[in-house]
Amino acid sequence: DTEVTQTPKHLVMGMTNKKSLKCEQHMGHRAMYWYKQKAKKPPELMFVYSYEKLSINESVPSRFSPECPNSSLLNLHLHALQPEDSALYLCASSPRQDLEAFFGQGTRLTVV
Partner 1 sequence: DAKTTQPPSMDCAEGRAANLPCNHSTISGNEYVYWYRQIHSQGPQYIIHGLKNNETNEMASLIITEDRKSSTLILPHATLRDTAVYYCIPQEWGGGNKLTFGTGTQLKVEL
Is residue 46 within 8 Å of residue 108, measured between CB atoms? Answer: no
Which range of residues in 10-18, 50-58, 65-73, 75-83 is near partner 1 by CB under 8 A?
50-58
d(CA 9, CA 28): 23
Phi and psi, residue 28, nearest 5°: 75, 15
Beta carbon of residue 68, minimum distance to partner 1 (angstroms, whole number): 16
Among 43, 85, 93, 109, binds partner 1 (CB under 8 A): 43
Q: Which of residues 9-38 bind partner 1 (CB under 8 A)?
A: 33
Of the candidate spans 14-22, 62-70, 73-81, 101-109, the one that interacts with partner 1 by CB under 8 A turns out to be 101-109
Told to check if 97 binds partner 1 by CB under 8 A, we report yes
Phi-psi region of 16 (alpha: psi -120 to 50; beta: other; left: phi over 0): alpha
DSSP bridge partners of 6:
23
Cα–Cα distance measured from residue 78 to residue 70, given in angstroms and rounded to the nearest whole number = 19
Interaction of residue 67 with partner 1, rule CB under 8 A? no
- Which residues in this chain contact partner 1 in the complex, by CB under 8 A? 4, 33, 42-45, 48, 50, 55-56, 58, 90, 92, 94, 97-98, 100-106
